[in-house]
Structure 1
């Protein structure tokens, strides 16, 4: 009978934080011997212990460390990463992103390597070989490798994590975002097709994410109270729409609509949205399925060109809305709630952007004095 912790019997099995099982036993040499790998199920761990006990009974046992040869003494990264990914509750889009990073960046470099043979030197050599023009992707790949190996340390597959490059998980923003001015926003909205204008209004003046906007239903818009409720978001996974909760728990929120935007939203409801409570505000051409973001992107590119802002992305509309809200004097807590952020870090960035207006105000005061 295989024993558990604090139970009599041969060997010891325990469940690790990763949900995998570890097996160990005290050998004839009175030393503690662990299985060279962890197991998906408890039964597998017990089977390994049974095999070890049989070797002892038959007089064929030798210390496990001496029986390991080559790479057999450590699970390979590709095997461990597959289990790591399978055991995590991830949003479909996040899972797809991790699978891409593994397939494209991590497995070619480390896939066949036993975990114990991945050294800090190997990690540094891989890091410097990455394309310098893709800092965000590089940081995400490194962060994923570090997370997987952190779990391996917790599972006692590794003594220490070889990912030790300072700040490698943090990518510096490759471009400075310049928010649109109110006049530029007006030009962009006017240049969009009439049935797409409300998308830009919600992304900017309500600082909503495009995935949140494209999943809005008639029931989510309460124009009598001037509120839009954000309960869900849609993302494209393998080319298909997947509806789920917003990006974070704080993403579920009620956003007050600026009064000057309400008439345009009412016109959109009257002209382009079905009468059912669950009818999409921005459906595809068939009237039932979700509008593909690329369809709006195509129209947005033409509209931003009309405003002379070819540098502006759709997500920059949300950035613009957040900066405008900060310029009204909104506190960090108010910005955090309006944007649906779990922490104040991002809200602080927008508030700093608003404080930068002080130089423009000072310049305007000097011009006022010069005219006088």
Structure 2
């Protein structure tokens, strides 16, 4: 049994306490302060002395909190700490709650694996991109560190490092992901503040939109014939033929494609709602020829068939190199689809529907491509005005209509 004695603690009588008996069954002797209830002095077999506080929670649970070593901590300070702990207990709290929380604090990798990742797989459409950022960059940098030990400076340094090796946009996506992770950690009671909050993103330069020319399309399709990854080739072709986003194509399932009706259902898009994609004859022929029909639920399966193709980027880069096409991203296939549609006379409203844009403003980026049609429309108005003026003047200008000087005079 632990030896227990009670007396008013003073520096002198604590110094006079003997070391606990070496042959005793207990590891230490325990003495109680007669002034502050719960304040204890623990004396070890080697003569070490330390203050502690014993208390009982509302539910009956008994707890033991170490305060500090004597004489580094004096009697007055130990009593003050014990009284503060007693006040927490009297209010229904637990003085060790913070320490317990700290002991249970997961590392960044543990939090990702056990909490954030399972949530994000179900809640975020961008999870595959997030998982790639985590695996390649975030885990090597932050994985072994506790969440509470990662501060604003750590996030800023990572943000800047990614900017050095990648674009400002990529660095900002990393910042957004880190902010989302720590925001959830706050929401779930793991940490008290988000170290990524308030960090300013880098200014992103507005990149010039890249559109394929018909000559480049021909060279790319020719290079695709020699590309060994035929699944990636088919996915890239479908992107150009439908204008869909990369992840929309890679996540395509046969159950959502109706070849007879020429429709492809996207159950979840960037806008947060599903939509139908109209399949052209070329897109239908491409899908009909795919060997995955009847063999995999995925239109573009990965190696084992149980998962979709992860990313056709490597095949895309090989194709571009063989075709001699520079400065093209996979997303530019979507821009090129819109470009070809506009130049073929498709209205911006129809382009909005084809691309699944939620607002007309998003489609306005392609408005300049329709300037030929706008010029024709403008000329039609000018012809009407010219004819009206000519009629009012009794046809004095002749069969050729008004001179330009008369229209602007």
Give the shorter-chain TM-score range: 0.5 to 0.7
User: Could you say which structure has the larger radius of gyration?
Assistant: 2
Partner of 1:43: none
Q: Secondary structure at the match of 1:202?
A: helix
TM-score (norm 2): 0.50
The separation in 1 between residues aligned to 2:134 and 2:365, in whole angstroms, is 36
The separation in 2 between residues aligned to 1:95 and 1:253, in whole angstroms, is 20
Residue 230, structure 1, aligned to residue 265, structure 2: yes
TM-score (norm 1): 0.54
Partner of 1:255: 277
Relative to structure 2, which stretch is displaced further, 311-320 or 295-304? 295-304
The separation in 2 between residues aligned to 1:144 and 1:296, in whole angstroms, is 22
Q: Secondary structure at the match of 1:324?
A: helix
Give 1:178 deviation, angstroms. Answer: 1.0
Q: Which consecutive residues of structure 2, in runs of 5 or more, have no partner in the other structure? A: 1-35, 38-55, 65-81, 89-93, 379-409
Pairwise CA RMSD of aligned residues? 5.4
1:1-372 equivalent positions in 2, closer than 5 A: 53-55=61-63, 62=86, 63=88, 72=102, 75-78=105-108, 79-86=110-117, 88-90=119-121, 95=127, 97-99=129-131, 101-102=133-134, 104-105=137-138, 108-109=141-142, 111-113=144-146, 115=148, 118-134=150-166, 135-155=168-188, 157-168=190-201, 172=204, 176-189=208-221, 192-193=224-225, 202-210=238-246, 212-213=248-249, 215=252, 217=254, 220-222=257-259, 225=261, 227-231=262-266, 246-248=268-270, 252-258=274-280, 262=281, 264=282, 268=286, 298=315, 301-302=318-319, 305-306=322-323, 308-325=324-341, 328-331=346-349, 334-340=350-356, 343-344=358-359, 348-355=361-368, 358=371
Q: Which consecutive residues of structure 1, in runs of 5 or more, have no partner in the other structure? A: 1-27, 30-47, 232-244, 366-372
- Listed one character per residue, the Cα deviations across residues 68-117 of structure 1 (whole Å, up to 9, x for unaligned) are 679947835535455431551515995565455445326734853452x5
The separation in 1 between residues aligned to 2:308 and 2:188, in whole angstroms, is 44
The separation in 2 between residues aligned to 1:138 and 1:276, in whole angstroms, is 41
Aligned residues: 290
Contact 1:74–1:114 (8 Å) recurs in 2: no
Give 1:156 deviation, angstroms. Answer: 5.1
CA separation of 1:271/1:352 partners in 2, compared to 1, >3 Å: closer, same or farther?
Answer: closer
Give 1:216 deviation, angstroms. Answer: 5.8
The separation in 2 between residues aligned to 1:130 and 1:278, in whole angstroms, is 37
